[in-house]
């Protein structure tokens, strides 16, 4: 058998090449949020495997010191993070030229990784959790250092491959190949459930990448502001009679959660000129959003929250209110006091309801954290009870005319799992969806995704605000606001983006665009880089998009042909982006709705100003979007069919989308009726 000396000699990229001496024990900065202890459902044998798996990264000379330290982390935190190896002080996305590397791509991805772990951006930065309660950049700090080492050494004829945060290694490829291919939590179907994932994560073999956390594309809560803005604005148009050129002034939106993604809600409602109340149990999250200017007022009671909201509504003034307390308490007050509400949702991390993503009524945030560590069974019972009551309150409010929509956080699935089978449309299971609509099902799907509009985003790698402002102006110049109301909304959004102070972390922007819009803007940006007007730019998107994610509980909830349980679109998107030369491609299990409930694919594309990148843009960007529109068209979604017809004409002789024939009304039912008679 090979000795550890032989193994060490066979590697040049290794942890002891980064650290000449073992780093000192960690010092944790006061006031930085820490992840709760994670569930530890390991046998003694599994515990041994978990410890041995962590020590795989560690040179033998440090094993005797770190083995007991890692064992302590496992037993007290539920995971081995390797805290000792976290760089001291604040991590943040520095200007790209400050990073070492042999390729611009390698330097650029280091910017993205560090931005994900910025104290101002990450939910639990010491545990490498960027957002969504469990969404990690990678599993531990040993992986972090090795990934960055590989990115420094990578040439333009190599590809870095990662499995759930573990850098498997560099492999020879070619300049047109992706520089990074990564996957997260892709579990064999038989074991693709929360229990097995929890075990695998504790053993250090599975990472919950969420979407943009493990794909290194998170840009702070700004990344979902546009989606939330579009959702509530269109909900107002569809359900509240708001005109196409109107906004939400005088309307009240109530939701919960002020974390990484949910922190976008107050900013979005103010941009839409509405009033919002957002319940949050974690005082530190309220303080973060309030100090950032992302929420305008704080209330200590439901009475105070509604009083502030009602005053603003009378004046038709935009206002966001953070209520420090439980959403169930807020809704209970609203029901008893018969308070009028226009729009209602929830954006707590219900994909991880039993891991701290949902705090039950009657339990403080601190008590929630203690129960997670000391009495998980009681915590689960309390969550179930609270979800049941939460559902009953929503049902009452809906009966009074309130429009409730699931914001894609697995809330309705969590209610179903809590024992409320009546929330399922068929009263039995989730296959036909739920009695309340998902925001994608009702709003974003037909109004945006079916046309190809989705969360296009970019990062100015120079770190210069002037570069971001130039890209804002360039993007605005590429949009025709008279084409559709979606384009008018997007034009208003990007024109006001700087005024709305959306940047948290590095200089980045999000803008919903369709396939041709994304391609046009990307080509414009690359031209600007080529002409020296701006520094290099990293393009990406949320995986919550037209074509990147398969999930019957969110992204594909408006797919009604039965294929909502299939994951072939996301996998094909991933493979197709590789074939077309994207800089990074990512495929994750879980996303924003939980393990086993979604497969999502994402990408990163470096705009370096080259003609080669122009070709990648022309080939990859339309594919990334239109693969999703094609799937939606085949599901008989009317707007997607119309978009595909237009696309087939525009790209005749180059691209071609298969379209469905539609049987006459009643023909299918009558045919089956007649067949049964025989």
Degrees, nearest 5: CA angle 79-84-90:
100
Strand partners, 181: 161, 585
Q: What is the pLDDT of residue 544?
A: 85
- Phi/psi for 415 (5° steps) reads -65, -45
As a whole-number percent, the residues of the chain with pLDDT over 90 amount to: 92
* Residue 351: Cβ-neighbour burial (10 angstroms; 0-12, 13-18, 19+): buried
Contact 131, 213 (CB under 8 A): yes
Q: What is the pLDDT of residue 79?
A: 98
Structure tokens at 304: 């105070």
Determine the Cα–Cα distance for residues 497 and 509; give it in Å rounded to an integer. Answer: 8
Structure tokens at 412: 């309705």
Helix axes 104-116, 141-153, angle to 10 degrees: 160
| 97-109 pLDDT per residue, tens | 999 999 999 999 9
Q: Shortest CA distance to 136 belongs to which of 184, 85, 70? A: 184
| 199-209 pLDDT per residue, tens | 999 999 999 99
Determine the Cα–Cα distance for residues 205 and 199; give it in Å rounded to an integer. Answer: 9
| 573-609 pLDDT per residue, tens | 999 999 999 999 999 999 888 899 999 999 999 999 9
H or E segment to which residue 528 belongs: helix 515-530
Determine the Cα–Cα distance for residues 332 and 253; give it in Å rounded to an integer. Answer: 16
Determine the Cα–Cα distance for residues 200 and 457; give it in Å rounded to an integer. Answer: 32
Contact 209, 136 (CB under 8 A): yes
Q: Does the pLDDT of residue 495 top 90, yes or no?
A: yes
Contact 36, 373 (CB under 8 A): yes
Among 425-434, 449-458, 487-496, the range scoring the smallest mean pLDDT is 425-434
What residues contact 423, with CB distance under 8 A and at least 6 apart?
391, 412, 415, 416, 434, 435, 436
Confidence of residue 335 (pLDDT cuts 50, 70, 90): very high
Q: Give the number of other CB atoms < 10 A from CB of residue 157.
A: 13
Determine the Cα–Cα distance for residues 617 and 21; give it in Å rounded to an integer. Answer: 45
- With b for 16 or more beta-carbon neighbours within 10 A and e for fewer, the 437-461 pattern comes to bbbbbbbbbbbbbbbbbbbbbbbbb
- Helix, strand, or coil here: 73? helix
Determine the Cα–Cα distance for residues 36 and 434; give it in Å rounded to an integer. Answer: 31
| 424-452 pLDDT per residue, tens | 999 999 888 899 988 888 899 999 999 99
Q: Give the number of other CB atoms < 10 A from CB of residue 373.
A: 17
Using the structure block, give the residue that is written with the tokens 């919903």.
512
Contact 538, 215 (CB under 8 A): no
Confidence of residue 359 (pLDDT cuts 50, 70, 90): very high
Confidence of residue 408 (pLDDT cuts 50, 70, 90): confident
Going by the DSSP 8-state scheme, the letter that residue 442 receives in this structure is I
- Helix, strand, or coil here: 283? helix
Using the structure block, give the residue that is written with the tokens 């073999």.
205
Give the global pTM.
Answer: 0.93
Q: What is the mean pLDDT of the chain?
A: 96
Helix axes 376-399, 365-374, angle to 10 degrees: 140
């Amino acid at each position: 058998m090979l000795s550890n000396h032989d193994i060490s000699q066979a590697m040049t990229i290794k942890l002891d090449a980064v650290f000449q001496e073992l780093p000192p024990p960690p010092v944790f900065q006061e006031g930085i949020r820490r992840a709760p202890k994670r569930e530890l459902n390991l046998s003694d044998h599994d515990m041994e495997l978990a410890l041995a798996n962590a020590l795989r990264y560690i040179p033998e000379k440090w094993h005797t010191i770190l083995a007991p330290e890692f064992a302590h982390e496992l037993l007290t935190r539920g995971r081995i993070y390797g805290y000792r190896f976290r760089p001291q002080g604040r991590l943040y996305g520095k200007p790209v030229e400050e990073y070492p590397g042999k390729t611009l791509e390698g330097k650029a991805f280091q910017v993205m990784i560090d931005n994900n772990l910025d104290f101002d951006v990450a939910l639990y930065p010491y545990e490498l959790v960027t957002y969504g309660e469990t969404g990690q950049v990678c599993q531990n700090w040993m992986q972090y250092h090795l990934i960055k080492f590989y990115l420094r050494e990578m040439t333009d004829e190599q590809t870095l491959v990662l499995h759930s945060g573990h850098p498997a290694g560099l492999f020879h490829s070619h300049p047109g190949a992706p520089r990074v291919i990564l996957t997260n939590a892709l579990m064999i179907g038989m074991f693709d459930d929360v229990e097995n994932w929890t075990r695998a994560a504790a053993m250090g073999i599975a990472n919950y990448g969420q979407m943009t956390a493990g794909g290194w594309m998170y840009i702070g809560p700004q990344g979902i502001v546009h989606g939330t803005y579009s959702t509530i604005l269109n909900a107002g148009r569809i359900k509240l009679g708001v005109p196409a050129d109107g906004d939400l002034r005088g309307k009240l939106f109530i939701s919960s959660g002020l974390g990484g993604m949910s922190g976008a809600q107050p900013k979005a409602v103010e941009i839409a000129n509405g009033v919002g109340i957002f319940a949050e149990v974690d005082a530190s999250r309220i303080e973060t959003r309030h100090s950032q200017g992302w929420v305008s007022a704080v209330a200590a009671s439901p009475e105070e929250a509604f009083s502030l909201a009602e005053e603003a509504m009378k004046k038709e003034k935009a206002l966001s209110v953070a209520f420090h307390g439980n959403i169930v308490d807020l809704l209970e007050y609203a029901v008893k006091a018969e308070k009028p509400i226009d729009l209602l949702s929830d954006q707590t991390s219900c994909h991880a309801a039993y891991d701290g993503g949902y705090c039950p009524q009657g339990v403080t945030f601190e008590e929630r954290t203690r129960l997670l560590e000391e009495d998980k069974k009681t915590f689960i019972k309390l969550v179930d009870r609270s979800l049941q009551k939460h559902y009953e309150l929503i049902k009452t409010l809906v009966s009074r005319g309130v429009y409730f929509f699931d914001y894609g956080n697995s809330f309705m699935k969590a209610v179903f799992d809590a024992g409320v089978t009546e929330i399922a449309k068929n009263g039995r299971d989730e296959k036909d969806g739920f009695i309340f609509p998902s925001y994608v099902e009702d709003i974003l799907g037909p109004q945006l995704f079916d046309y190809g509009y989705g969360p296009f985003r970019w990062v100015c790698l120079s770190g210069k605000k002037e570069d971001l402002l130039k890209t804002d102006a360039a993007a605005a110049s590429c949009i025709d606001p008279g084409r559709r109301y979606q384009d008018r909304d997007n034009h208003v959004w990007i024109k006001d983006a700087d005024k709305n102070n959306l940047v948290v972390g590095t200089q980045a922007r999000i803008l919903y665009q369709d396939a041709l819009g994304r391609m046009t803007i990307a080509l414009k940006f690359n031209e600007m880089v080529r002409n020296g007007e701006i520094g290099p730019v990293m393009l990406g998107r949320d995986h919550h998009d037209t074509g990147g994610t398969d999930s019957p509980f969110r992204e594909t909830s408006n797919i009604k042909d039965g294929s909502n349980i299939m994951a072939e679109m996301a996998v094909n998107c991933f493979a197709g982006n590789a074939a077309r030369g994207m800089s990074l491609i990512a495929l994750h299990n879980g996303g924003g709705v939980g393990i086993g409930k979604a497969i999502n694919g994402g990408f990163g594309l470096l705009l370096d100003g080259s003609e080669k990148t122009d070709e990648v843009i022309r080939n990859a960007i339309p594919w990334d979007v239109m693969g999703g529109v094609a799937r939606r068209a085949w599901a008989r979604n009317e707007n997607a069919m119309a978009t595909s017809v237009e696309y087939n004409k525009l790209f005749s002789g180059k691209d071609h989308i298969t379209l469905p024939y539609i049987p006459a009304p009643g023909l299918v039912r009558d045919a089956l009726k007649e067949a049964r008679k025989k």
